[in-house]
Amino acid sequence: MYLGTIVNALAALVGGTLGAALRRRIPERMRDIAMQGIGLVTLVLGMQMALGTRNILAVILSVVAGGWIGEWLGIEGGLERLGAWAEARFGGAGERGTFARAFVTSSLLFCVGPLTILGSLQAGLGGSPTLLYTKSLLDGVSALAIGAALGIGVVLSAGTILVYQGALTLLAKTVQSVMTPAITREFAATGGVLVLGIGLTILRVRVVRAANLLPALLVVVVLTALAPALAALARSLGLGR
């Protein structure tokens, strides 16, 4: 049941380690272009996901409300402090300032997206972990590029994958009853908005505190689940057709 998640974590670990090991041998301009490529592909992925919405209002409300919740909880700051602590404990020479960034960027990139939730559901319900194997390949390549550009901090994302995807896999049967096609669609679209934010941050267009937007993924599930009841109430009050 957890094989797909373990393979995914190993892919991030191996890719990140290899990228970090090659870092000193790769010219800075080559590292920069690798990150630019990852950033552009991340934007494309985020746009593709976001455009799948059929309820843009729910996505907007979820991102705004989720952002407020995330700012109040200080999720981004917590991740940065965790990364800084790990940097102080495990970071080597030349990693100052990039260790935590590598950890936060890779953790968000690898855990926000439809393959994470759908792959975990598939594996947790006894199906073949095909989606997680596909995700493992993508994450391994991305980890290599991030490791080459930002250093060894990326390998800590393997732990994030194990905890996050492992929890989703464990809760698969409960989550399946909630994740209707409509909720799954809007969940993926909202995740796409977060992925777009990650892409903009990677490209240094604008620093988006994507981690603080993570509660939006829970908010959109609630809003989409309540949408039919709210629509029925509006019709009964004569507010809709």
Q: pLDDT, tens digit, for every residue of 112-121?
A: 777 787 788 8
Question: What mean pLDDT comes out for the span 80-89?
Answer: 81
Structure-model confidence comparison of residues 18 and 227, the more confident one = 18
For residue 151, report the phi and psi dihedrals to the nearest 5 degrees. Answer: 105, -170
Domain that holds residue 30: 3-55+74-179
**Residue 233 falls within a domain, yes or no?**
no
**Residue 234 falls within a domain, yes or no?**
no
pLDDT exceeds 60 at position 71:
yes
**Residue 107 falls within a domain, yes or no?**
yes
**Residue 167 falls within a domain, yes or no?**
yes
**Residue 209 falls within a domain, yes or no?**
no
| Amino acid (1-letter code) at residue 19 | G
Could you tell me which residues come within 8 angstroms of residue 36 by beta carbon, excluding any fewer than 6 positions away? 203
How far is Cα 71 from Cα 221, in angstroms, rounded to an integer? 19
**Residue 97 falls within a domain, yes or no?**
yes
For residue 57, what are its two tokens? 């209002």
Question: What mean pLDDT comes out for the span 197-223?
Answer: 91
Ramachandran category for residue 64: left, alpha or beta (phi over 0 → left; psi -120 to 50 → alpha): alpha
pLDDT the model gives residue 54: 92
Q: Per the structure, how many domains does the chain have?
A: 1
pLDDT the model gives residue 85: 83
How far is Cα 181 from Cα 237, in angstroms, rounded to an integer? 28
pLDDT exceeds 60 at position 147:
yes
**% the chain with pLDDT above 90:** 37
Q: Whole-number mean pLDDT of the chain?
A: 86
Pick from 34, 38, 76, 39: which is nearest to 199 by CA? 39
| Amino acid (1-letter code) at residue 184 | T
pLDDT band at 17 (very low <50, low <70, confident <90, very high): very high
**Residue 82 falls within a domain, yes or no?**
yes
Structure-model confidence comparison of residues 82 and 92, the more confident one = 82
Residue 82's H or E segment, with its range, is: helix 75-90
pTM above 0.85, yes or no: no
**Residue 50 falls within a domain, yes or no?**
yes
